[in-house]
Chains A and B, each alone.
Chain A
Amino acid sequence: MEAQRYDLRQMRKEIKEDETMANRRAEDVTDDRELSHDEIRRLVEKQNSSTSDE
């Protein structure tokens, strides 16, 4: 009985970890935030400086 409870806890923990990982992956793939002018400007500057460093 105790062993079954442990298995169930372990299973729940693993499911939770899987969900967390899946959410993180989804965040990596899509980013549909609307950016302000300043945020876009900063991204442009960052990208241009990384390109000129190459």
Chain B
Amino acid sequence: MAAKVRVMLVDDEDHIRLFMRKVLATMQAEVVVEAANGKEAIELYRQHKPDITLMDINMPVMTGSDALKKLLDEFPDAFVIMLTSLNTADVVKECLIAGAQNYIRKDLPLPEIKKQIRETWAEYVKIKMAEKSVGEN
């Protein structure tokens, strides 16, 4: 049986985290930790090292885009998917240039959100397999 994807959910809205937790449970994914803002996300990432982080942008204390940059400074291999309602070109480009693996709008139909998360997960697995193969050779 394939290992479950270990996910960190970062969103200041409880109901979104609850919803995504239920969605991820249907996708061979396990939510190992949840954070309500960017600062908390960085602290919890250090402790739990999730495979994938689903990150909202508009949050108190520290935004998701600031947290993304700080997280990737410290953990360049972190796999972060932005999951947000924001869709302005500046914000999307800022996150992608900073290193987000994907950028998903929350108003996408659920099957499409799941499909995009799966695709990013597949990319993560591919990279990890390649790293493992290089390590063995």
Contact = CB atoms under 8 A, between A and B. Distances in A.
Contacts of B45: none
A53 interface: no
Contacts of B72: none
Nearest to A46: B96
A31 B102 CA distance: 20
A36 B108 CA distance: 10
A43 B87 contact: no
A34 interface: yes
Contacts of B103: 40, 43-44
B93 interface: yes
A53 to B, nearest CB: 15
A33 B102 contact: no
Query: Size range of the interface on B?
Result: 10 to 19
A30 B96 contact: no
B101 A48 contact: yes
B61 interface: no
A37 interface: yes
B46 interface: no
Contacts of B105: 37, 40
A48 B102 CA distance: 9
A37 B90 contact: no
Interface string B83-100: 000011110110011000
Nearest to A29: B90
B88 A40 contact: no
Interface in A1-54: 30-37, 40, 43-44, 47-48
Nearest to A34: B87
Interface of B: 87-90, 92-93, 96-97, 101-103, 105, 108, 112, 123
